[in-house]
C-alpha cells in the first residue's frame, strides 16, 4: 500500500516538474523571440530640403518597443533627430508599447549640416531577451542628399502676347533637374518639357489661356527639385481680351427623334424619360464624360516637335460655329440648357476628306460620346488636334501621319445635326482657339521665332 502511495506521489511530482519545465520553456520561447521591430517613413526619404516634416511609424508586435534612435551624419558630424526610450517590464511581459507614430521636423541648416551626401541612421530595439537581454534590433543606414537650395529659373523668351482663349509658348532654363516644372495660369498647370534642345535644362512649355480667364489672371513658371525645394517666377506678358459670340440653337422634335436613339445605352435615363430630358442628359452628363475621356488621352505627350508651319483647315469649308461660342439651347421656345462650344465647326460637301492639320502621332481613333467618331493627333510637347463627328476613320492609334494626309471623312456621328467637321486644338487638356494655329504670321511671331532664337 505504501509503495502504491509512493508511486502516486512520485508521478504527481513528475507531473508538476514537467508542467514547470514546459511553462518555463514556453516562457523562454516567448521572451527569446527573434522577430525584429520595424520602422517606416512617409514620404520615403531620398533627399532633404531646407525644412520638412517626415512621419515615422514603428512597431514590434511581440516584445514591444524599447528604443528608437534617428540621426544624420555629415562630414563626420552626427546630429540626433529623434531619440526615445519606451517603458517596459524587462523580466516579465516586455514592452508596453507595440506601435507608435511620430513626426520629425528636419532643418539641416539649423542643425549645422551643409548640402551634399549624408547618412541617415535608423535604430529600433525591442524587449526580447535575445542578445543577452539586448533585444532584437534593426540598424538601417541610408545615403541621402541634403539639398536646401531652390532651383533657379531663367526665362529665355521675352514677349508673351496672349489672347483670351488663345495659346502661348514659354522657353526657360533651370539650374538643376526638376521632376515637376511648368507654367501655371491660375490653377491650370502646363508642364514644361525638355528634349528639344541638346541642353536638357532648357524647357518648352506650350500653355493655354482659358477663355474664362481675364487679364488679371495670375501667371508664373514654377520648378520643384528632387528634394522638394520650389521656385517660381513671373514672366512678361500681355493679355488681349476677347468677346465671344452668343448663339441660340433651337432643338426640334425631328432632331430629337432622329438623334436620341443612338444615345439610349449611354445615358442613365428611365424608360419614361422624354426625348427632351434625354437630350439634356446627353448634352450635360455625356458631354462631361466625353470631355473627361479626351482629357485622359491628351494627358500624355511625346517630347518631339512633330509639326511645322501653319496648321491646315478643312479645304473649301465654311465656318458654321466658332470657338467658345456661348450657346443657349431652346425647345419649343423655352431654354433647356447652356453650353460653350470648344472648337470650330467646318462644313463642306458631305463626306469630305479630312486632312491631318499637321504632322503628328494618332493617339485616338474611336467613338467618343457626343463627339462621335473622333481622331486625336499628338503634335508633341502637349499640343493636340482633334477631329470629331467623322463618318469614317482611315488611321489607327499609334500611326504617324503627315501634314495633309487623309485621316477620315466628315459626317454627323455623335451629337451633330448635319454633316460637318468639329475641329479643336488642345494644349494640355485645355481647348484653345484653332484660328491662331491656321495663321502663319501668328505661328512665326509667337512660336517658331522663339524656338529658333534660343541658343543651346
- Do 116 and 50 belong together in one domain? yes
Non-local (6+) Cβ contacts of 266 within 8 A are 282, 286, 369
Q: In the prediction, which pLDDT does 12 show?
A: 63
Examine residue 330 and state whether it is found in any structural domain, yes or no. yes
- Do 182 and 294 belong together in one domain? no
For 427-436, the pLDDT digits (tens) are 999 999 999 9
- Do 296 and 379 belong together in one domain? yes
For the chain, what is the mean pLDDT? 91
Q: What number is the average pLDDT over the span 116-127?
A: 94
For 356-383, the pLDDT digits (tens) are 999 999 999 999 999 999 999 999 999 9
pLDDT surpasses 60 at 347: yes
Examine residue 27 and state whether it is found in any structural domain, yes or no. no
Q: In the prediction, which pLDDT does 27 show?
A: 47
Q: In the prediction, which pLDDT does 394 show?
A: 98
Q: In the prediction, which pLDDT does 6 show?
A: 64
Examine residue 442 and state whether it is found in any structural domain, yes or no. no
Q: In the prediction, which pLDDT does 130 show?
A: 75
Q: In the prediction, which pLDDT does 22 show?
A: 58
- Do 67 and 209 belong together in one domain? no
Among 146, 165, 193, the domain boundary falls at: 146
- Do 384 and 283 belong together in one domain? yes
CATH of the domain at 55: 2.60.40.3880
CATH of the domain at 301: 2.70.70.10
- Do 225 and 276 belong together in one domain? no
- Do 342 and 291 belong together in one domain? yes
Among 115, 146, 177, the domain boundary falls at: 146
Share of the chain above pLDDT 90, in %: 77
pLDDT surpasses 80 at 258: yes
Examine residue 193 and state whether it is found in any structural domain, yes or no. yes
**Pair 358, 380: CB distance under 8 Å:** no
Q: In the prediction, which pLDDT does 29 show?
A: 47
Domain of residue 324 covers 246-431
Examine residue 14 and state whether it is found in any structural domain, yes or no. no
pLDDT band at residue 265 using 50, 70 and 90 as cut-offs: confident
Other C-beta atoms lying within 10 Å of the C-beta of residue 440: 11
Examine residue 314 and state whether it is found in any structural domain, yes or no. yes
For 193-228, the pLDDT digits (tens) are 999 999 999 999 999 999 999 989 999 999 999 999
Other C-beta atoms lying within 10 Å of the C-beta of residue 453: 11
Q: How many domains does the chain have?
A: 3
Q: What number is the average pLDDT over the span 3-16?
A: 64
Q: In the prediction, which pLDDT does 150 show?
A: 95
- Do 210 and 163 belong together in one domain? yes
Pairing of strands 325-331, 400-401: unpaired
Q: What number is the average pLDDT over the span 125-150?
A: 86
For 38-71, the pLDDT digits (tens) are 999 988 888 899 898 999 999 988 888 989 999 9
- Do 199 and 252 belong together in one domain? no
Give the global pTM. 0.84
Mind spelling out the 3-state secondary structure of the chain? CHHHHHHHHHHHHHHHHHHHHHHHHHHHHHHCCCCCCEEEEECCCCEECCCEEEEEEEECCCCCEEEEEEEEEECCEEEEEEEEECCEECCCCEECCCEEEEEEEECCCCCCCCCEEEEEEEEEEECCCHHHHCCCEEEEEEEEEECCCCCCEEECCCCCEEECCCEEEEEEEECCCCCEEEEEECCEEEECECCCCCCCCEEEEEEECCCCCCCCCCEEEEEECCCCCEEEECCCCEEECCCCCEEEEEECHHHHHHHHHHHHHHCCCCCCCCHHHHHHHHHHHHHHHHHHHHHHHCCCCCCCCCCCCCCCCCCCCEEEECCCEEEEEEECCEEEEEEEECCEEEECCCCCEEECCCCEEEEEEEEEHHHEEEEEEEEECCEEEEEEEECEECCCCCCEECCCCEEEECECCCCCCCCEEEEEEEECCEEECHHHHHCHHHHHHHHHHHHHHCCC
- Do 160 and 83 belong together in one domain? no
Non-local (6+) Cβ contacts of 118 within 8 A are 48, 72, 73, 74, 143, 144, 145, 146
- Do 382 and 253 belong together in one domain? yes
Examine residue 453 and state whether it is found in any structural domain, yes or no. no
pLDDT band at residue 5 using 50, 70 and 90 as cut-offs: low
For 57-110, the pLDDT digits (tens) are 999 888 889 899 999 999 999 999 999 999 876 555 577 888 999 999 999 999
- Do 234 and 266 belong together in one domain? no
Examine residue 5 and state whether it is found in any structural domain, yes or no. no
Among 201, 220, 240, the domain boundary falls at: 240
Q: What number is the average pLDDT over the span 285-290?
A: 96
For 11-25, the pLDDT digits (tens) are 666 666 655 555 545
pLDDT surpasses 90 at 325: yes
Amino acid at each position: 500500500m505504501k509503495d502504491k502511495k509512493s508511486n502516486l506521489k512520485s508521478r504527481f511530482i513528475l507531473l508538476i516538474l514537467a508542467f514547470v519545465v514546459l511553462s518555463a520553456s514556453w516562457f523562454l520561447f516567448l521572451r527569446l523571440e527573434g522577430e525584429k521591430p520595424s520602422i517606416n517613413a512617409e514620404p520615403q526619404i531620398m533627399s532633404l530640403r531646407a525644412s520638412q516634416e517626415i512621419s515615422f511609424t514603428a512597431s514590434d508586435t511581440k516584445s514591444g518597443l524599447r528604443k528608437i534612435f534617428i540621426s544624420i551624419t555629415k562630414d563626420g558630424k552626427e546630429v540626433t533627430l529623434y531619440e526615445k526610450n519606451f517603458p517596459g517590464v524587462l523580466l516579465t511581459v516586455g514592452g508596453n508599447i507595440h506601435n507608435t507614430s511620430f513626426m520629425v521636423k528636419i532643418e539641416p541648416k539649423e542643425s549645422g549640416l551643409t548640402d551634399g551626401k549624408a547618412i541617415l541612421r535608423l535604430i529600433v530595439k525591442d524587449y526580447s531577451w535575445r542578445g543577452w537581454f539586448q533585444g532584437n534590433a534593426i540598424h538601417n543606414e541610408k545615403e541621402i542628399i541634403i539639398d536646401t537650395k531652390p532651383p533657379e529659373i531663367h526665362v529665355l523668351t521675352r514677349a508673351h502676347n496672349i489672347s483670351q482663349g488663345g495659346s502661348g509658348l514659354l522657353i526657360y532654363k533651370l539650374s538643376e533637374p526638376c521632376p515637376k516644372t511648368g507654367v501655371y495660369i491660375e490653377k491650370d498647370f502646363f508642364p514644361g518639357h525638355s528634349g528639344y534642345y541638346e541642353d536638357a535644362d532648357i524647357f518648352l512649355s506650350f500653355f493655354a489661356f482659358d477663355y474664362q480667364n481675364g487679364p488679371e489672371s495670375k501667371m508664373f513658371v514654377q520648378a520643384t527639385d528632387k528634394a522638394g525645394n520650389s521656385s517660381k517666377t513671373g514672366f512678361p506678358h500681355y493679355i488681349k481680351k476677347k468677346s465671344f459670340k452668343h448663339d441660340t440653337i433651337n432643338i426640334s422634335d425631328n432632331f430629337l427623334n432622329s438623334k436620341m436613339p443612338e444615345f439610349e445605352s449611354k445615358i442613365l435615363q428611365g424608360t419614361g424619360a422624354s426625348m427632351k430630358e434625354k437630350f439634356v442628359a446627353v448634352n450635360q452628363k455625356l458631354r462631361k464624360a466625353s470631355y473627361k475621356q479626351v482629357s485622359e488621352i491628351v494627358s500624355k505627350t511625346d517630347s518631339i516637335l512633330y509639326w511645322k508651319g501653319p496648321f491646315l483647315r478643312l479645304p473649301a469649308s465654311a465656318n458654321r460655329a466658332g470657338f467658345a461660342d456661348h450657346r443657349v439651347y431652346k425647345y419649343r421656345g423655352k431654354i433647356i440648357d447652356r453650353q460653350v462650344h470648344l472648337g470650330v465647326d467646318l462644313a463642306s460637301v458631305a463626306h469630305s476628306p479630312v486632312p491631318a492639320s499637321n504632322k503628328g502621332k494618332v493617339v485616338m481613333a474611336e467613338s467618343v460620346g457626343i463627339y462621335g467618331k473622333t481622331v486625336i493627333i499628338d503634335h508633341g510637347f502637349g499640343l493636340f488636334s482633334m477631329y470629331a463627328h467623322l463618318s469614317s476613320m482611315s488611321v489607327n492609334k499609334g500611326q504617324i501621319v503627315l501634314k495633309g494626309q487623309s485621316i477620315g471623312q466628315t459626317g454627323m456621328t455623335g451629337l451633330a445635326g448635319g454633316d460637318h467637321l468639329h475641329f479643336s486644338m488642345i494644349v494640355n487638356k485645355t481647348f484653345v482657339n484653332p484660328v491662331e494655329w491656321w495663321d502663319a504670321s501668328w505661328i512665326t511671331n509667337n512660336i517658331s521665332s522663339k524656338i529658333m532664337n534660343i541658343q543651346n
